[in-house]
Chain A
Amino acid sequence: VADPQLAASSNSLFNLAFVAYIVAMAVYFFRLAFTRVSVVGVPKATRAGSAAGALATMLATGGALVHLASIVTRGMAAGRWPWANMYEYSSILAWGAVVFGLLVVQRKWGYGHLMGFVLAGAVLSMTSALLLFTEAGPVVPALRSYWITIHTSAAMAASSIFIVAFVATALYLVKDTAERRVAARSEEGHAGYGGSTVGAAQVLQAPARPERRGGSRPDGYTDPSAGSGGDEQAYASPLAQRAALSPVAFPLVPLVVVAAFVLIVWRDPVATLVAGSAAALLGTATWYAVPYLPPAAKLDSLAYRVVAFGFPVWTFAVMAGAIWAQEAWGRYWGWDPKETGSFFTWLLYASYLHARSTRGWRGRGAAWIGVIAFVALMVTYYAVNLFIVGLHSYAGV
């Protein structure tokens, strides 16, 4: 059934897209370094930054197009929809995250300077696709149904969206920490909200802001809202934020976590070294990027909007899965590991949405639930497929 030539060209297109994403990610980070984000969240790129941004957008768009060609040729080679195993699924996940990032995060919401992190997520997903590579081939009868287009594509779309949501949530936590620390330092004894820009309006009523100290900061950063009164967000000095975060912990923690994970799973020192260094680099980039990130409140609402976009899609994916299970296995819900996995992921994202409107959970509490929800999604996808025996196991590697 499989056409080896088409399959081979699909693979080389995949590799090309992979390289394009890696380069685009690097250029996006370069752009970030040449961007100034004012305290009210208006990104302003320097000339080098704008050029880098344009180049990165071109690379990412081109990469996505090549990647799409790879996915289409893969489907043609196998003579079926190209999302029947983990290689194909991970590949499309990366593609979805890039496309969603480009269209929604960059174009619609104008947070193009966050795209480096979105691409990092896509590159990780592509790496996992390479590790789980499977030759193009036909599928078992249980997967031969039109429901594979409905259920699996919905699950992939939601997962890609959740990748972007996770990026925003994680960056929010970092930015929020920085803002709080800066506020705690500069505002010793200031009652109230501890520098967070989230929920500030609820905790602290508007007139509680004391007189402002000039419009210009020592580091030459102009505070645009100075004097306009009551703008909670115009508080933390951008460069002080970076100083408030440990330059050692940021590369070290990801390095240790990722290296330990890779060492335990693959027991390969070279892979451990590579993955650990990549994680450390990403950590450093995050640390460096902190001043240029949008204010925590904006990141929080970005994360919320993205989850709110993905959650109904995920809900639909789970429902379509139940309908398919009814048709294929004669029961709509059997507490199969994949079913329970998708269910606890759903519960966690539902908790996230609820937590965001619950007193005492808004902001960081909700964000941590969002992070856990994404981990749950990854566990549902990777761990349940690879390590737990269930009805979805055959769909695996």
Chain B
Amino acid sequence: VTQTTAATGTRPHPSRPRGSRLPEIPGPGETFARAWKALRRMSTALKLLLVLTVAVILGTFVPQEPVIPTTVAEWRAGTSGPGEATSAAFDALGLFDVFGAWWFNALVVLLVTSLTGCLVPRIRAFVRAARCGPAAGRNLGRLTHNVELRTPLPPCEALDRAEAALNHRRFRCRRSAADGAPGAVAQLAAERGHAREGGSIAFHISFYVLVTGAMIGHTFGFTGQVNVVEGASFADTRIAYDLAEPGRWFPFDAHRGFVVGLEDFTATYLETPVSTDPGAEAPGDLVTGGALSTFMPTDFASRVTISEDGEVVREEEVRVNQPLSHDGVSVYQVRFGMAPQIEVRTTDGTVLYTDSVILTEAGGFVWQGVAPVARTEVEQQIALELILLPDAGFNAQGMPVSRSPEPRNPRLAAVVWVGELGLERNRPPSEFRRDRGQQLPQPVILELGETGQVQGLPLEIEFSGLPYWSGFQVSQEPGRWVLLAGAALMLTGLVPSLYAYRRRVWVEAHPDGEGSRVVLAGVALHRKGVFAEAFDGLAEDVAHRLDAGGAPAPEPHPETTERKA
């Protein structure tokens, strides 16, 4: 904690003539020195901390692009949020990505610099204080806590006993013997509570450890997203991932190459019939138009196998709170969905397309997606827009709905698109060009196992199976243990920095006739109330050890009585 009170601004500039009325303009060196001095001030650090807080608050209430891009897009378009103009202003200020904005990072750098400026002198002072041990005391009678005791023991023996009492209380003691000089008194200086400053320093150092751990993870780590249909597999290689976020220096040979196969996937729901009591709210709150029950997911589990060199080495279940860790790579269950298996054939039997199409949820237990059936001829491409109702039925208005998320009565609707759909582009098929395509008027509606004819084209579509797909996140986090160590350091430093307190105790033994007169005095730098009680206990203990029979009981300090009351 650096506390500077000297007002630098009032000091006259050395090169300026005395009495000059010109404004004082500091040179670059002095400006830097002043800025550095200001940055090291505790109040500056506090203000920076508060500004950082404001930034984080903004990042909480303004939607963040890396977290929810859809909402940000809506805000920018003005369809929701405070309107287009405000959104443009937010964009200019980087408020849609506060935590990636240059000014946020500048703030963090400034704060870390300020912290370093505060911390370096503190560490130096701490090391010095810890190494030197307690300093000798003077004028003990003037300290806030002092007690005088009489003992028949000689000074040296008395100090030994007092030292035993202090050692028992885990004080660090240092003796300065009366070396025969006139007026010299044997003194014992004791100190305890360096853990406060040490803990505080450890707490602040933990930030560097945490930042280092996060940086290691960012630069050398890897995160990839991959969706796999039941029965299929993927290998941990560069090209396997649908979306890969390697760190800047992630070595690509760090991919382990093992194969993860999805044996099967299970989704379990808890079905609760919708209560007739309109006041009661159903758990999960997944009520949709046609549903007679609410469904709450209770468990999603993927049974996966891991194969190395063609041999299955592990078989395990991966769930939301149960990731699989293999060879330093973690596999997390992130999402899941339905992937109807379809086959598109020409009427003469040529298979154009056969695959399980990964569908995404469109709300109300309805799944949708696009199958790129034919894309080789750019002008004459075919795509199927698929809509899946796992449990098809009709609502009160006669509209088709899905009554549950479970595939009890699956119905697949395929809308056929023909034309220059742009399927050859390196884009997801769902982003095909609707504007250049033509939609066939009659969608094909299929039950599971059914084959249907496309009206207007010599094609038939077979809905042959309904497996699930499971979405995994695969990560390598090399900085994880550093982060954990940083967190542990933070907590172990934080507790003593708030609870330990520094106090010093001195014992002086003056020769007094046969025995000696012992002065016990102490002072606390923090938590003075707690020390007042502790000092009382210590005085009693010392008195007892000195066997100061007949001596008056230590007179409690006024502050002590007040505390105890």
Contact = CB atoms under 8 A, between A and B. Distances in A.
A and B: bona fide binding partners: yes
A316 interface: yes
A42 B67 CA distance: 54
A357 B43 CA distance: 10
Contacts of B45: 354
Contacts of A369: 50
Contact of A354 (B46, B223, B495): B46
B495 A358 contact: no
Contacts of B330: 330
Interface in A347-372: 347-348, 350-351, 353-355, 357-361, 369
Contacts of B483: 332
A311 B494 contact: yes
B562 A40 contact: yes
Interface residues of B, number: 61
A191 interface: no
A329 interface: yes
A329 B334 CA distance: 7
Contact of A140 (B42, B214, B296): B296
A389 B71 contact: yes
A330 B475 contact: yes
B475 A138 contact: no
A331 B477 CA distance: 9
A141 B283 contact: no
A343 interface: yes
Interface in B320-375: 320-323, 330, 332, 334
A42 B565 contact: yes
Interface residues of A, number: 60
Interface stretch (A16-24, A277-285, A333-341): A333-341
A2 B235 CA distance: 42
B20 interface: no
A140 B60 CA distance: 24
Interface in A161-196: none
Nearest to B217: A332
Given A134-B283, A142-B320, A335-B99, A358 B43 contact: yes
B46 A228 contact: no
A145 interface: yes
Contact of A358 (B46, B280, B321, B491): B46
A312 B61 contact: no
Contacts of A348: 53
B397 interface: no
B20 to A, nearest CB: 31
Given A341-B60, A343-B56, A134 B281 contact: yes
A376 B50 CA distance: 13
Contact of B49 (A324, A347, A359): A347
The 4 closest A-B pairs by CB, nearest first: A330-B332, A145-B321, A137-B283, A344-B56
Interface of A: 1, 40-42, 134-135, 137-138, 140-142, 144-145, 147, 228, 301, 308, 311-312, 315-316, 319, 322-324, 326-337, 340-341, 343-344, 347-348, 350-351, 353-355, 357-361, 369, 376, 384, 388-390, 397
Interface of B: 1, 3, 5, 42-43, 45-46, 49-50, 52-53, 56-57, 59-61, 64, 66-68, 71, 99, 214, 223, 270, 272, 280-281, 283-285, 296-300, 319-323, 330, 332, 334, 473, 475, 477, 480, 483-484, 487, 490-491, 494-495, 498-499, 529, 558, 562, 565
Given A140-B284, A142-B321, A337-B61, 4 more contacts: A312-B491, A330-B475, A354-B42, A397-B285
16 contacts: A40-B562, A134-B281, A137-B284, A140-B297, A141-B299, A323-B484, A326-B477, A328-B332, A329-B334, A337-B61, A340-B60, A344-B57, A350-B49, A354-B42, A361-B46, A384-B60
